[in-house]
Chains A and B, each alone.
Chain A
Amino acid sequence: MEHQSHITLPKGSIEKTTTTLNIGPTHPATHGVFQNIMEVDGERVVSTEQTVGYIHRAFEKLAERRPLYQITPITDRLNYCSSPINNMGWHITCERFLKIELPKRVDYLRVIIMELARISDHLICNSIVGVDTGAYTGFLYVMQYRELIYEIYEEVCGSRLTTNIGRIGGFERNFTNTAFTKLEKFLNEYPKVLKEFESLFARNRIFMERTKGTGGISAERAMNYGFTGPNLRAAGVDYDVRVQQAYSSYQDFDFKVPVGTTGDNYDRFLVRNAEMYESISIIKQAYQKIQNFKGAEAEVYHADVPEYYLPKKEDVYTKMEALIWHFKIIMGEIDLPKGQIYSAVEGGNGELGFYLISDGGRTPFRLHFRRPCFIYYQAFEELIKGGMLSDAVVTMSSLNLIAGELDA
């Protein structure tokens, strides 16, 4: 008698020699909401298909009905590990478009915040690589120092994660002495911790064997795949927007652009680590330059652009004119000039670009965000194909994929 099965298997599933494995949409390995449908043969990855879009919020559509200031909070939510870079990238785009010149002190203050954001971004990424290779300690330990960075943000703008920091033309308020004290504390304490963090991993045999030679890519392929940021530099291309198209007076600073050779997980880790040292050095230089300002110059924290820079809060509460301007600026009742601009900054994980088209209305006609990790995530299949499943997990975290930026 023929055996009757209760389960009807899909056609072709008996002959199939590989297993389909879902990683995500929510999975400890994805560190965000995105999905990988992998075909695995034992523990080898045969193919994978990445699915993104789970937290798509239609930012580009939203931006078409929002005046400039209402777009800043949207940019917070792209790469939320380094929101200040996104905010300032957007403000820099607006300033370039509106041809606003900034005082040097504002540029240097921005550089401090942006480099702090870069450190916190790289810190998360590198320590997560540690977690995925089985070393939780580093992650837990460095969180204390990210907290110091967040305290500085808090002192400057009042919030921690989605910062909405700064204004077109500068900052909403001057840095307080407390902010500088906190910055000094960070600059004193952090380099030692970073050294310690590095010595936990960089020559650790287990870590090296897990990361060396996995998820590698050649410089040529990386460029073809549109890699930017630390991932491209790890493959050996010394492209850094801070150097190539200096913004916010980065040309005044002396720093190295670390590069790797093989573009594998280990190189990405090392490049990010080396960049954190460079960031510390840039912050120190910027802080030194800020201390050199004397007299009235030492108090400047915004450019003189009354059409776009919000009036003082005290004035808004007490003076009619200031209240009107506050309203006009927030509601965007000033027409933008016609034209288009592409402006990029070096974000935490690559070139973050803003392509703004204005038709002379009060809101952008079209705003496109060039989101670095959306572009390089395409290469994931090529990076992990034929490798072990556990290496794929490490590759995923060392690419620094942020779901908010993937989906926009």
Chain B
Amino acid sequence: MALSNEIIQNKLIEKFGEQVLNFSTASGILSFESSKEINLKVLQFLYEEPSLGFTFLTDLCGVNYPDNIGAELVVVYHLHNFSENIRLRYSISTAVNETAVFTASKLFESANWMERETYDFFGINFVGHPNLKRILNVDEMDYFPLRKQYPLEDQTRIDKDDEMFGRG
């Protein structure tokens, strides 16, 4: 039986109940969220449950939503089941002052550098990571540049304020 978004959703709800939430489908990809405490359990279930088989971690990245108080930082996992050819997006969120998240690098070797990159740019602290240090930026850097609080342009410039980019 071909795997579909509904089957995945039902299996997840069956296993985790109300701990997995906010299911939605955008551009054909099912997305859902959970609390950050169970991220490894969810990933492992998706990996090991034979009928799901999400054994390929396509992408892992961070996002910063400064306005979501208590859930400012988000980690997004894109998973892929090659044999059924179906993608899945899973995200967890964490507070900006409490950035510990369990590492997925034991499950996926590929998560190693992607988590380092996410740490480097967002300061998300992956607990249990074998080598969590900066990867693209210099080691001496003392901030996490992709957080929204660090503006790109020189703030004394008035010709390029946020209003011009549609969010004043």
A residues near B (Cβ < 8 Å) are: 52-53, 56, 58, 60-62, 64-65, 96-97, 221, 223-226, 237, 239, 244-245, 332, 335, 339-344, 351, 353, 355, 357, 359-363, 365-366, 368, 370, 374-379, 407-408
Closest approach, in angstroms, between the C-beta of B132 and any C-beta of chain A? 14
CB contact between A53 and one of B76, B85, B137 (< 8 Å): that residue = B137
Q: B56 on the interface (CB 8 Å rule)?
A: yes
Complex contacts, B167 vs chain A, CB 8 Å: 359-361
Known: A237-B82, A360-B166, A375-B114. A366 touches B109 (CB 8 A): no
CB contact between B145 and one of A61, A224, A244 (< 8 Å): that residue = A61
Complex contacts, B113 vs chain A, CB 8 Å: 374-375, 377-378
Closest approach, in angstroms, between the C-beta of A210 and any C-beta of chain B? 27
Q: Mark B1-45, 1 if CB is under 8 A from A, else 0.
A: 000000000000000000000000011010100000000000000
Complex contacts, A221 vs chain B, CB 8 Å: 109
B26→A52 contact, CB < 8 A: no
CB closest residue in chain B, given A363: B165
A225→B109 contact, CB < 8 A: yes
Known: A225-B110, A353-B58, A375-B113. 10 other contacts (CB 8 A): A62-B152, A224-B110, A341-B27, A342-B29, A342-B87, A342-B89, A343-B27, A351-B58, A357-B63, A378-B113
Q: B100 on the interface (CB 8 Å rule)?
A: no
Contacting A at CB under 8 A, from B115-168, are: 117, 121, 134-138, 145-146, 152-153, 160, 165-167
A366→B63 contact, CB < 8 A: yes
Choose among B26, B31, B59 the residue with the greatest number of A CB atoms under 10 Å from its CB.
B59
Q: B112 on the interface (CB 8 Å rule)?
A: yes
Choose among B26, B58, B89 the residue with the greatest number of A CB atoms under 10 Å from its CB.
B58
Complex contacts, B108 vs chain A, CB 8 Å: 224, 226
Closest approach, in angstroms, between the C-beta of B54 and any C-beta of chain A? 11
B166→A339 contact, CB < 8 A: no
Return 26 A-B CB contacts under 8 Å, by A number. Answer: A53-B135, A53-B136, A56-B137, A65-B152, A96-B27, A97-B27, A223-B56, A224-B108, A226-B108, A226-B109, A226-B114, A335-B166, A340-B26, A341-B26, A351-B58, A353-B59, A355-B61, A357-B63, A360-B167, A363-B166, A366-B64, A370-B78, A374-B113, A378-B109, A378-B110, A379-B109
Closest approach, in angstroms, between the C-beta of B162 and any C-beta of chain A? 9
CA of A226 to CA of B144, assembled, Å: 25
Choose among A62, A341, A359, A378 the residue with the greatest number of B CB atoms under 10 Å from its CB.
A378
Inter-chain residue pair count (beta carbon < 8 A)? 103
Q: B57 on the interface (CB 8 Å rule)?
A: yes
CA of A370 to CA of B153, assembled, Å: 25
CB closest residue in chain B, given A58: B145
B26→A370 contact, CB < 8 A: no
Choose among A65, A224, A226, A376 the residue with the greatest number of B CB atoms under 10 Å from its CB.
A226
CA of A273 to CA of B63, assembled, Å: 39
Complex contacts, A377 vs chain B, CB 8 Å: 113
CB contact between A408 and one of B26, B29, B136, B165 (< 8 Å): that residue = B136
Known: A362-B165, A375-B110. A368 touches B152 (CB 8 A): no
Complex contacts, B85 vs chain A, CB 8 Å: 244-245
Closest approach, in angstroms, between the C-beta of B53 and any C-beta of chain A? 11
CB closest residue in chain A, given B55: A223
B26→A339 contact, CB < 8 A: yes
Q: Mark B48-89, 1 if CB is under 8 A from A, else 0.
A: 000000011111010110000000000010100010010101
Choose among A58, A376, A379, A407 the residue with the greatest number of B CB atoms under 10 Å from its CB.
A58
CA of A56 to CA of B137, assembled, Å: 7
B166→A362 contact, CB < 8 A: yes
CB closest residue in chain B, given A54: B136
CB closest residue in chain B, given A406: B136
CB contact between A342 and one of B78, B146, B160 (< 8 Å): that residue = B78
Complex contacts, B134 vs chain A, CB 8 Å: 53
CA of A244 to CA of B84, assembled, Å: 10
CA of A375 to CA of B160, assembled, Å: 35
Closest approach, in angstroms, between the C-beta of B74 and any C-beta of chain A? 9
Closest approach, in angstroms, between the C-beta of A237 and any C-beta of chain B? 7
CA of A361 to CA of B152, assembled, Å: 16
